[in-house]
Amino acid sequence: MSHDQTAHGAERERINAAIDRLLTGAPTRSSGSLTVEALAAEADVHRMALYKRHSDLRELFNERIRNETKQMPASEKRLRKENTTLRQSLKDARAGEAEARWITEQTVLAAAVLTADANSKNAKPGHEREGNVIPFRKPQTRE
C-alpha cells in the first residue's frame, strides 16, 4: 500500500470518527454544529477534501443528520432558503413583466385613438374612410 493510500485511509477514518463525535454531541476540535465546516474542523481536514475526495462521507454525514437527529442539514436549509428567495424574485419579475405589458398595450391603444381622432379631424369632405383604415399620406417630393 502506498503512502497516498495510507494517508487517504487515515483521513477517511478521522472523518468517520468526527461524524460520530458530532452526531453524539461530543466534539473535540470544532463548534459541534452539524455543518460540513464543523465536520472538516473536527476531522482536521480541509473543507474541500470533503467536497472533492470524500464526497461520499459528506453525503453520509448529511444522511445521518436527517435520520438520526431528524434535522435538515445546514447546506439543505441554505439551498431551500435560496430557492424560496429565487422563486419570489421570479414571481416579482413576472408581475413586473405583466405590468409592463399592460402599460404597453394601453399606450398603443391610446396612440391608436389619438391617431384616429387626428385623422378624422383632418379628413377632407368627400374622402370618408371605411372602418378603422387610416390611409398613408403621399410622400412629398422635392423638385
Is 110 a residue whose pLDDT tops 60?
Answer: yes
pLDDT of residue 98: 93
Sign of the alpha-carbon dihedral angle for 37, 31, 73, 69: positive
Share of the chain above pLDDT 70, in %: 83
Q: How far apart are CA 84 and CA 96, in angstroms?
A: 18
**Confidence label for 124 from pLDDT (cuts 50, 70 and 90):** low
Q: Is the pTM of this model over 0.95?
A: no
The answer to whether residue 57 scores a pLDDT higher than 60 is yes
For residues 113-142, average pLDDT: 67
Q: Is the confidence at residue 119, as pLDDT, over 90?
A: no
Q: Is pLDDT of 127 > 90?
A: no
Q: What is the pLDDT of residue 72?
A: 87
Q: What are the residue boundaries of the structural domains of the chain, listed by start?
A: 3-71, 76-122
Q: What is the pLDDT of residue 7?
A: 83
pLDDT tens per residue, range 69-105? 888 888 888 999 999 999 999 999 999 999 999 999 9
